[in-house]
Each structure stands twice: as C-alpha cells, then as structure tokens.
Amino acid sequence: MSSRLYDWFDRRLNLRPVQRTLLDEPIPGGASWIYVFGSVTLFLFLMQAATGMFLALYYAPTPDHAYDSIQFIERDVLFGWFVRGLHHWGASAMVIAIGLHMLQTFLYGAYKSPREVMWMMGVVLFLIVMTFAFTGYLLPWDQTAYWATQVGINMVGTVPLVGDLLSRVLRGGETLGALTLSRFFATHVLFLPAVLIGGIALHLFILRRVGPAGPWTDDRASLSSETFAPRQVYMDAVVIAGVFLAVAILAVSVPLPLTDKANPSDTSFVPVPEWYFLFYYELLKYVHGPLEPLATWILPLCVILIMFFWPFIDRNPVRNPIRRPVALASGLLFLLVVFGLLGISIKNLYAVPRTDPAVARGKAVYAQFGCAGCHRIHGEGGAVAPDLTTVGYTRPDRAWHLKHFPDPQSVMPGSFMPKFPLTDAQLNDLTSYMLSLTRATSS
C-alpha cells in the first residue's frame, strides 16, 4: 500500500499497533520453510469455506435431489466442476497439511511447556477436520457415500452403553435417510465451521501469548530473532501458492468419482472410503467377532487420548529429537503402522495387473455361465446376489474362490448360489477375474 494512503488511514484508525501485532511477531531463530504448514492449513480452510459457499448455492440436501444437484453442478453450472474439484482435493490437501503441521510440532518438541494447551487445541482442530471429512462424504448421496457412512455409523454403534443412542443421534432415527442427510449437511456447513473458527482463533490467540517455539536448541539465549514479516510471510505465501496450484491441477485433470445414486435396498454394495480413512478400513479387516470393539472404538479412543494428553505423557524437557529416543520411536512406530496399513490397502486395491490374459478369459467364463443374472459389476447385472464390483478387494483369498465356485455352500452355508461344474482352467480364470475386481470406479 502506498505510504500516503496508509498514513491517511493510520491517522484515523491508529493502524500501527495492529500492524505490529500481526506482522512484527518475533520468531526465535528466524524464519524457516519448516514453519509454513500452519499457514497452509489456514489457507486451505479459507479455500474450503469459499468453495463450500459456492457449492451451497446449488446443492440440495435431500435424498431426492442431492445426487442430481451434484450432477447439475458438474455438468451445467459454469465452472461448477472446477469448484467441486477444488473442494474435493482441498479436503485431502487439508488433511495432509494438518498432518505435516502436527509432525513438525512433534519432531521439534514444540508441544512442550509452555505450549501444552496450544497442542491440545491443535488435536481438537484435527478431530474437527476429520469430522468435516466424514460429514462431507455423505453429501453427494451416491452409493459409496451412503454405504461408507453406514459403515461409519455402525462402528459408532459398537460403543458400549451409549453406542445405540449415538448412532441414532447421528442418523436422526433408525435408518440412514432424509434426516441423516440434513443433519450431516447442517453439521458440515453450520456447526463445524462455527466450532472450527472458534478453535482456530483460540489456537492463534495462544500462539500469540506464548510465541512461536523456534528451533529445538537448548541454548535459547544465543538465538537471534526475526519478525514474522517479511521473510516468513514470503515463505508461507510461496508454499500456499504451490499448494493451490497442485489442488487446481488435480481439480482440472482428475475427474471426480460419483458412483450410482444411493440405493438403500442394495445392501450388497461394498464401499471403499477416502484414502485418509483407508488405513483404518484395512485394520478393520483383521479383527472379527469378540475382538471387533478393539478396532472400532477402543483403539481409536486410546490413540486420541494419548495424542491429546501427549505433552503430559512426554515430560522430558529436552526438545532435540536425537536426545528423545523414546518419543521419536513412538512417533515413528505410529507412522509406520498407519502408512503400513495404508500401503497394504492401496496394494490390495490396485494389485492385479489389468492386462493379465487369465482375467480376460475369466470375464468370458463369467458371461458364459450367466453370473450376471444374479450378480452386479459396475452397475451391470442382477441385484439378488452380492455386488461383485470390489470382490477382489473384500475377498482377496484365491483358495476361497477355488473352493467356492464348485460348491458355494461349503464356504457360505445357506447360499442359494448354484454349484458350477467348471473345468480347472475355467475355475482358475474365473478366480483371476474375481481377484481383479478391486476398484469401485470403472475405468
């Protein structure tokens, strides 16, 4: 701003103290590229708010119209597809940005005294962001949205004593329907933004009271100091511009998934969740029966509580990560488990090469024996038997299929699927085809 204009306003509004508070905040040790993730997260939140407002102009939160209104946004609204793309990829970017922000805080020991409350507020903000993701996922009201949300709510239902009540509160009744959709919509666009804005304000207020943590050195006295402007502002702006560009490129080049319109009676649909919930989806596959509550709520609750109270669990005042082997090892172990599960999940989703000739032969066997009379794949076929669109993902076990086709009742008691007298070659090819069906979207 030209200095004369600035002076004109400053004489009337007394701006200099405001400028000092906003831009002259001292950073111990000086500006750094590693401190940008908080600002990036804040920027992405503002982008989500702006794109969300425009989407709300056209979106209709009812089961009759939600799906059509999304299609309308995609096809008819000027730049509607682009705004929806920004909002979709922006959500993923926000999860990554907040994850990196927490990782940096963890690595630098920046959660230690006197910044415990800022960390705890941060964990709350992270949980609010994940709730944004969960509630937003239902809004397109397609098959994936509907059945993934069903799975999520069922998991809440496994919590003892209050589970039933909680899942009914989430659904607004006994079944997932119109009330659930308006409830998720109102939460997504009214309740959560209000809570998140309050939380961000508090997070930043605390930051300004205690000041940024700076580097992890013990010798704080010898640290030089640098104001937030101009270098840190510049670094933040550069990374924000890069992130926006990446999100915009994704929005332009990757078509967004939209499966069939939600069909509450098609219980055979197997949903695949967003990538940031995939590690958890993978974990759920390993626990069954009496162990199920362990994965559905005990483990998540423990992880959240440990995260929340972490500054009081790790009481070692040293901040240099090399001299905090236990904290560093626990952090690494946590990341290893999460990314290990995510990796396995992605590997299962994309495993079988689609050019495998056995898969093509198996597809022919599938057609020859009229499997489509009962089963559906990518929306084609009957609906009396389970949808097989992602059967290779939900049943990755080759031996199971080899046993199943000649005698379905031997592995699925009570199944009315007929026995199929297949040759060994046909059996193998058909199984290869089944195992190749791992993707919710056809390509």
The DSSP code for 288 is -
Nearer CB in complex with ligand HEC: 340/370: 370
Q: What is the C-alpha to C-alpha distance for residues 69 and 424, in angstroms, rounded to an integer? A: 49
Q: Helix, strand, or coil here: 114?
A: coil
Nearer CB in complex with ligand HEC: 201/412: 412
Tell me the closest approach of the beta carbon of residue 415 to ligand HEC, in angstroms: 3
303 closest CA partner among 286, 322, 272, 280: 280
Tell me the closest approach of the beta carbon of residue 169 to ligand HEC, in angstroms: 31
Nearer CB in complex with ligand HEC: 131/415: 415
Site residues, ligand HEC (CB under 6 A): 366, 369-371, 373-375, 385-386, 388, 391, 394-395, 412, 414-418, 420, 430, 434
Nearer CB in complex with ligand HEC: 181/391: 391
Tell me the closest approach of the beta carbon of residue 397 to ligand HEC, in angstroms: 10
| Position of minimal CB gap to ligand HEC | 371
347 closest CA partner among 426, 241, 435: 435
DSSP string computed for 70-106? HHHHHHTSTTHHHHHHHHHHHHHHHHHHHHHHHHHHH
Tell me the closest approach of the beta carbon of residue 352 to ligand HEC, in angstroms: 15
Nearer CB in complex with ligand HEC: 385/402: 385
Nearer CB in complex with ligand HEC: 164/407: 407
Tell me the closest approach of the beta carbon of residue 422 to ligand HEC, in angstroms: 8
44 closest CA partner among 9, 80, 81, 87: 87
Neighbours of 156 (CB within 10 A): 19
Q: Helix, strand, or coil here: 26?
A: strand
Q: Helix, strand, or coil here: 161?
A: coil
Tell me the closest approach of the beta carbon of residue 405 to ligand HEC, in angstroms: 6
